[in-house]
Chains A and B, each alone.
Chain A
Amino acid sequence: MTAELGHIALIMAFMMALLQAGFPLAGAQQGVPVWMAIAKPAARAQFLFLLTAFVCLEISFIQNDFSVTYVATNSNSSLPTYYRIAAVWGAHEGSMLLWATILGLWTFAVTLFSRSLSDEMLARVLGVMGLVSIGIQLFILTTSNPFERIVPAPPEGNDLNPLLQDFGMTIHPPMLYMGYVGLSVAFSFAIAALLGGSLDSAWARWSRPWTLVAWIFLTFGIVVGSWWAYYELGWGGWWFWDPVENASFMPWLVATALIHSLAVTEKRGAFKTWTVLLAIFAFSLSLLGTFLVRSGVLTSVHAFASDPARGLFILIFLAVVVGGSLTLYALRAPTVKDSAHYTLFSKENLLLVNNILLVVAAASVLLGTLYPLLLDALGLGKISVGPPYFTAVFAPVMAPIFLLAGMAPMVPWRQGDIKALVKRVAYVFEASLVLGIVLVVTLLDRSDFVTMAGLSMALWLVGSAGLSLYSRVKLRANFWDGLRAQSPSVYGMTLAHLGAAVFLVGVVISNHYSQEKTVKLAPGESVELGPYAFRFQGVKDVVGPNYRAKEGSFQVLKGDSVIAELAPQKRNYKVQRNTMTEAAISPGLLRDLYVAMGEPLDKGAWSVRVYYKPFMRWVWLGGLFMMAGGALAVSDRRYRLMGRRAEASEGAGVVAAS
C-alpha cells in the first residue's frame, strides 16, 4: 500500500505543480489577482505531496518491502537501517525523487520568505519554479517511477552498492541537490524579472540571499564528495576531474561569479543583463549536470545506460528550459539599460574581470567534459580527457582570480585610484612574495616554482584581506568600535577569501610534497616513507553486518615512538559479491598518514600502498571557511530589514486598499 500511496502523492504533486505554474503565470500576464493568488497554496500543497511521496519511499526501504523494484535492487535486509534510509537516493529513481522533493522544499521556502515581493513578482517566481517542477515530475512519472512493483516479489534485495555504504556518501547527494536545485530560485527570479520587465536592483537584492544559501550547500556538497573520494576510494586522491565531479563544479564556478555580480547589480545597478545571464547559466549547468550523469552519454566503455528514453527526456527538458530562457533573454535584454557610471579602474570592472575569468574557467571545464562526446559524434575516435588538460587550463585562469580577490575589496565603487592602490598594497605584495619563497626554501625540502607561486598567492590573499579589513576599521577612532561597525557581509567576504587561501595552501603543498609507496610487506616488515615507518603486524578476519573483511594492523612510527595505529580493511560484500578497499587514515592538521591494502601475496604478505600527505585537511578546511563566509553574509541585517520594511509596506497596502 505504501508504494501506491507514494505514487498517488507524486501524481497529486504533479497536479499541484500544473496549478502552480499555469494560473499564476497567466494571472501575472493578464493582471488577474485571483489567479496569481493560487501560486502560494498550490506551491505549499505540492511540497506536502512530494514530502508524502518521499516518506512513502523511505518507509518502503525501512520495512524492506522488496516487492518494490527500486527497493529490491538497492537494499537488503542485512543492510543497517541508517543505510537503508540513505539507500533511497542510492540510485537513479530515488535520487530523482529527492531532486523533486528538494525543489518542492525551496519553493516552499520562497512562499515563506516572500513578504517583500510584489504579488505579481511572487506569482511569476513560483510559476517558473512550478514549470521546472512539472518537467522533473513528468520525468519521474513517465521514465523513472521509484514505486514500481515487481511480481513476484523477490525474498531478498540486491543490496546497496558497497561504495555508497558510507557516511560521506549518504550526505553528499542531498547537499549537492540542495545546491543544484537552490540555484533554481535565482533562476526563477531572473526569469520572472525578464517576464515582468522589472530588472532593477531590488531584484538583485531578493536574489542574493537565495543564491548565497544555494552556493553554501553546493560548496558543502562538493567538499563532502571530495572528502569521500579521498578516504573511500583508496587512492589518496581527492579530485579526479571526472564528468560527474565536473558536473557539480561548473555550476559552482558560475554561482560564485553570480554572487559577485549580484553584489554589483544590487549596489550599483550595473551589469543587469550579465547578472541575469549568469543566473540562467548557473541553473542550466545544474540541469546539464543532471543530464550528463543521468543519460549515460558520457559514461565510459562499460557502464550501462539502461534507458535511452531518459536521456532523451532530460535533453528535451534541458532544451525547453534553457532554450526558452535564453530566447526570452535575447528578446528582453536589449531593452534593459544600465544606469551606473564607472571608470576603467573601479570595483565594478575588477568584479567584471573576476566574473569573466570564472565563466571562462567553467567553459573550459565544460569543453573538457564534452570533448570526448564531440569527437565521438564527429566520428573522430573514442578518447578521454584526463586531469593534465584540466590542470593546464585551470591554473592560469585561476591565478589572476586570486590576485584580483586580494585587490578588489580595496578599490572603491565608481572610480579607483590605481596609483594609490599600488602604493597601499605594494608592501603586502612584496612581503607575501618573499615570505612564500622563503617558506618553501627553508621549511620544505624541495623547492619548485608552482609551490612558491601558490604559497605567495595564498599569503597575498591573507595579507590583503587583513589590510582591507584594517583600513575599514581604521576609519573609526576606537579599534573595537571599528571592528563592531563592520557588517557581517564584510566579515563574510573576508572569511571566504581566507578560505580560498587555505584551500590554495592545501592544494599546492599536498600536491607537491605528498609521498607514496606501493610495496610488498610480510608481517613484521616495515616500509619507510619520509620521517615515518609503517610496520605491518598481520591480518585478522572481521565480520560486518553485510560483509566479511581482512583487517590489517599497522603501526606508524616516527623515530622510536608509535604515533598511530591503523587498521585498513579489504571487505567482501556478500550480496553484491564486491571487494572493497577501506583505507585507514591518521588525520592531522599538518599531515595525513594513509594506508590501503592491495591483495594477498605469498606467505601472508600483502601488497600495500602507503601515503604521507602534508596539509591535506586544508583543502576541505578552505571549503568550510568559504561556507562560513557565505553564512555570515546571509546573516547580514540588510536582508532581514528588507523583510520588515516589506511588512510595513504590506500594511500600507491594506490601508490603501480599504
Chain B
Amino acid sequence: MTPRQRRMVMVGAVIAGVAVAAFLGLTAFQKNLLYFYTPSQVSNGEAPKGYPFRVGGLVVQGSVKRMDGVDVKFDVTDGAATVPVTYSGILPDLFREGQGIISIGQMNEQGTFVASEVLAKHDENYMPPEVGDALKKTGQMPINYKDFQK
C-alpha cells in the first residue's frame, strides 16, 4: 500500500469514528439534558411537561409530611412561588426544613412534582469548590443522577 493510500485509510477511519461519535452524542444529548427551573418558573408554566427536569429551592418550614413507609411530601419555594413535591425513598443526610435542595423529576397531572431524586445542599455555609466537589458525590450537591437511569 502506498503512503498516500495509507493516509486515506487513516483519514477515513478518523472521519468515520468522529461522525459515528457525533451522531451518538447528539442523539443522546437530546434525551439526556436536564434543565434547571425555579419554583416561579414552574408555577408560570415554563417548565416542560412529560419529561424530567430539575427544580431547586428551599424546603418550606413545616411542610414536610411523612406518609406511610418511606414516602415523603414537602413544598419547595424560591420565596415567590411554591411547588409541592412527593418523593419515595431515603432523603439525603442534610435534608432539613429550610434547607436548599434540588430535586429531579416530573410534574404530574395534579401539578405535583414527583421527584425521582432529592439532593440537599451541604449546609448554609458557602464553601470552597473542592469541598463542593466531594459533597456533590454524596448527593448533597445537584449534579449526580444515579437514580435517574432506572
Contact = CB atoms under 8 A, between A and B. Distances in A.
Interface stretch (A38-46, A113-121, A434-442, A575-583): A575-583
Given A233-B137, A388-B32, A579 B17 contact: no
A392 B35 contact: no
Nearest to A296: B129
Given A386-B148, A389-B29, A392-B32, A304 B56 contact: no
Contacts of A363: 18, 21
A344 B102 CA distance: 53
Given A301-B142, A579-B94, A598-B70, A360 B137 contact: no
A598 B27 contact: no
A233 B137 CA distance: 7
A194 B126 CA distance: 46
B10 to A, nearest CB: 7
Interface string B44-87: 00000000001010000000001001100000000000000000
Interface string A233-262: 111010010111000000000000000000
Given A304-B132, A371-B29, A393-B25, A387 B93 contact: no
Contact of A300 (B9, B136, B146): B136
Contact of B141 (A92, A303, A598, A609): A303
A391 interface: yes
A11 B21 CA distance: 46
A240 B144 contact: yes
A240 B146 CA distance: 7
A149 interface: no
Interface in A373-400: 381-389, 391-393, 396-397
Contacts, number: 196
A599 interface: yes
Contacts of A368: 25
Interface residues of A, number: 73
Contact of B143 (A92, A243, A393, A599): A243
A570 B93 CA distance: 9
B146 A237 contact: yes
A163 B33 CA distance: 29
A489 interface: no
A396 B143 contact: no
B93 A360 contact: no
A229 interface: yes
Contact of B149 (A341, A388, A580): A388
A242 B148 CA distance: 14
Contacts of B31: 388-389, 392
B36 A306 contact: no
A303 B121 CA distance: 9
Residue of A300, A342, A382, A579 with most partner-chain B CB within 10 A: A300
Residue of B128, B141, B145 with most partner-chain A CB within 10 A: B128
Contacts of A344: 1, 5-6, 9
Interface string A100-116: 00000000000000000
Contacts of B138: 163, 233-234
A221 to B, nearest CB: 15
Residue of B127, B139, B145 with most partner-chain A CB within 10 A: B145
Interface string A600-611: 010000010100
Interface of B: 1, 3, 5-6, 9-10, 13-14, 17-18, 20-21, 24-25, 27-29, 31-36, 54, 56, 66, 69-70, 88-91, 93-94, 100, 102, 121-123, 126-139, 141-146, 148-149
The 4 nearest A-B residue pairs measured at CB: A303-B132, A598-B90, A386-B145, A392-B28
